[in-house]
Amino acid sequence: MRILTLIPGGIGDQILFFPTLETLKQQYPDAKIDVIVEPRSKSAYRVCQYVNEVLYFDYKDRNGMADYLNLLGIIRDREYEIALTLGQKWTVGFLLWLNGIPTRVGYETNSSWFITNPVPLKTQQYAAYMYHDLVRGLGIEAPCPEVKINLPKQDIAWVETQLNSLQIKDSGYILIHGGSSKLAQSKGIDKIYPVPKWQRIVDSIEKKQPGMPIVLLSGPEDEEWVAQMKRVCPNLKVIMPPDIGKSAGVIAGANLMLCTDSAPMHLSVAVGTYTIALFGPTEAKKLLPPNNDSYIGIQSPSEEIGDIQVEDILKQIWRE
């Protein structure tokens, strides 16, 4: 059996879909499960053990007939028996129908004409649960597994080497990720907490836990934020992993992850690191597991992340 899953969105969306892939693999252990994701998200599958093949399609691009015909050909060549799609565009359902995939699972919407097994779309819940609802279209009533990932051994070894070079010993470290992707910034989605407020948080940690290393987790688009942080907090250490597996390894070794809504936040949940995450325009209840004291979401009183008070963050760090 071959199963196709179509998962638009960024790396965070892929990580949140991992529990659904896990359930599919448990229910169909001999099946080959393929995913079609946006090119920007392909790196997520470095830390996923349930997928046979990663295919690419830019769901958000202005796709022409040639793009859809190319996707049609890719799908047809593999003769899938089941398809699950997160996307709600009727065009994707139409392509699945054209390919003759007999079982097509998706959300029930006003345009789900080509979906054979529609499931209710319940948006007011943790996104991993919402995605996992799709398996009910296959008659599967299993509970949603926890979000988790598979860390390659070579990535763990890379992390150990980097931590040694930063002279970080067995005492552990506190990790801060506060950058934002250029895509989010281009859409006007404010996910960057002000550097002066981060400075006050760092000062508090240095006073209460002198000698505890504080490390900035830097991505390829975070150089400006890192430079600003280093100017005001020169004692900060910086680590820039080259891929998602090594990022996850760095996060797994931290005592505490302080971050904004981002892919590293989802990685932190997946590796079980104690996490305090800041939310402005996005909703913590949809992006962090509910009823779990290990993952704390601090919601801004407005849509501006900068309106979160430093004191509210420090209360969660020190549990005052």
pLDDT computed for residue 197 by the predictor: 97
pLDDT computed for residue 59 by the predictor: 76
CA distance 222 to 217: 9
**Amino acid found at 33:** I
pLDDT computed for residue 220 by the predictor: 85
Answer CATH for 2-138 from 3.40.50.970, 3.30.200.20, 3.40.50.2000, 1.10.10.10: 3.40.50.2000
Helix and strand totals (H; E) in the chain:
12, 12
pTM for the structure as a whole: 0.93
pLDDT computed for residue 58 by the predictor: 84
Bridge partner residues of 296 (DSSP): 276
Give the pLDDT means over successive 10-residue stretches in the chain (320 positions).
Answer: 95 97 97 95 96 88 73 86 91 87 94 93 97 98 97 95 91 88 58 94 96 94 92 96 96 97 96 97 96 96 95 92
Instruction: Kindly calculate the radius of gyration of the chain based on its CA atoms and give it in whole angstroms.
Output: 21
Q: What is the DSSP string of 32-70?
A: EEEEEE-GGGGGGGGG-SS-SEEEE--TTS---HHHHHH
- Count of other CB atoms within 10 angstroms of residue 131: 22
CATH 3.40.50.2000 boundaries in the chain: 2-138, 153-318
pLDDT computed for residue 68 by the predictor: 76
pLDDT computed for residue 249 by the predictor: 97
CA distance 204 to 312: 13
What percent helix, strand, coil does the chain show, rounded to 5?
45, 15, 40
- Give me the helices (H) in 52-147, please: 65-78, 90-98, 127-132
CA distance 280 to 189: 9
CA distance 304 to 267: 24
CA distance 116 to 131: 17
- The fold adopted by the segment(s) 153-318 is Rossmann fold (3.40.50)
- Give me the helices (H) in 136-260, please: 153-165, 182-186, 195-208, 223-232, 244-252
